[in-house]
Amino acid sequence: MSIAANQIGVLLATLVLAALFLVSLGVGAGDVTLFGLWHGTAELDLLAISRLPRTVAVVLTGAGLAIAGLIMQAITRNRFVEPSTAGTAQSAELGILIVTLLWPAASLGFKTLAASVTALLGTAFFLMTAHRLPPTQPFLVPLFGLVYGSVLGAVATLIAWQLDLLQYLSIWSSGDFSGVLRGRYELLWIGAFLVVAAWLVADRLTIMALGRDASIGLGIDYARMMQLGLGIISVISAVTVVVVGVVPFVGLVVPNLVSRLMGDNLRATLPVVAVSGAILLLACDILGRLIRFPYEIPVGTVMGIVGALLFLVLIFQPRVRG
């Protein structure tokens, strides 16, 4: 992939994202028009309190999840894993559940911290196990992760059921941006910082995808990079689950699609993956708002359909050679 073509790709993606951003500001139960914005304060308030925070939240989440998936695929050397198919998101859910249980008044920040810790533990266990599955059967790893996630989900459901927290659990287990308001989404900016952090170590991540031996041979502290990667994945997943709930497939399909178009030199592709993740999620969120206007379909449901379809296309279509 030449540098010029690469830059055109980034530019195009950014333009699409900007367009969707504007559309997202305009779509919702309350009307926002340019005319109204010029004259009244009510519409400005709507924009500032609800529409803008929501749109920013979607962008941050989409970018963060796509990068989390990208990192996970690099460090597991398996193209078909991502946080929601590796037990990460479900471990985070368990963490929030436990905190809510022990300390109902805990702040959002503290919940995120707890969720990050459990996400880290759950993902580390998955990686240790998945590592021992035969590399000749790459499909076993995501399968193992999906079922592992559903087992963790069953544990969470069981706890929630016993303690009458089922309603809370359903909030976390299905991603939804309709509740995002100013003052309640800002934690997501952590994800943005982590995306930048990932970009700074992009070369190392590319090398890690070549394998442990190649990484050590090139002088990379493999164990520390593994920990760093795990940390980024866990925190992004935890923040997402705490603020909006589980959003499946973004981390899976976006890195794969970008890889098919632009290859796997992450320093070049990582920004594109982040922007594309934001585009996909924003498009799905807008779609969810339009399908049954003025009611909303949660983005988790829309992504479940769009993401699953894209994923099936990805695994059925043999690699384009050339």
| Residues of this chain that bind other proteins (CB under 8 A) | 1, 77, 79-80, 129, 132-135, 137-140, 142-144, 146-148, 150-151, 153-155, 157-158, 161-162, 170, 202-203, 206-207, 209-214, 216-221, 248, 259-260, 263-265, 267, 291-292, 295, 297, 301-305, 308-309, 311-312, 315-316, 319, 321-322
In the chain the first and final C-alpha atoms are separated, in Å, by: 12
Shortest distance in whole angstroms from residue 198 CB to other proteins: 14
Shortest distance in whole angstroms from residue 292 CB to other proteins: 5
The residue type of 48 is: A
Is the CB of 23 or the CB of 210 nearer to other proteins? 210
Is the CB of 44 or the CB of 155 nearer to other proteins? 155
Token duo for residue 61: 């989440």
Shortest distance in whole angstroms from residue 217 CB to other proteins: 5
What is the rounded distance in angstroms from the CA atom of residue 8 to the CA atom of residue 27? Answer: 29
Shortest distance in whole angstroms from residue 164 CB to other proteins: 11
CB atoms within 10 A of CB 146: 16
Shortest distance in whole angstroms from residue 161 CB to other proteins: 5
The residue type of 318 is: P
Is the CB of 116 or the CB of 240 nearer to other proteins? 240
Is the CB of 52 or the CB of 140 nearer to other proteins? 140
Shortest distance in whole angstroms from residue 206 CB to other proteins: 7
Is the CB of 190 or the CB of 306 nearer to other proteins? 306
Shortest distance in whole angstroms from residue 90 CB to other proteins: 11
Shortest distance in whole angstroms from residue 79 CB to other proteins: 7
CB atoms within 10 A of CB 133: 15
Token duo for residue 21: 């951003």
Is the CB of 44 or the CB of 287 nearer to other proteins? 287
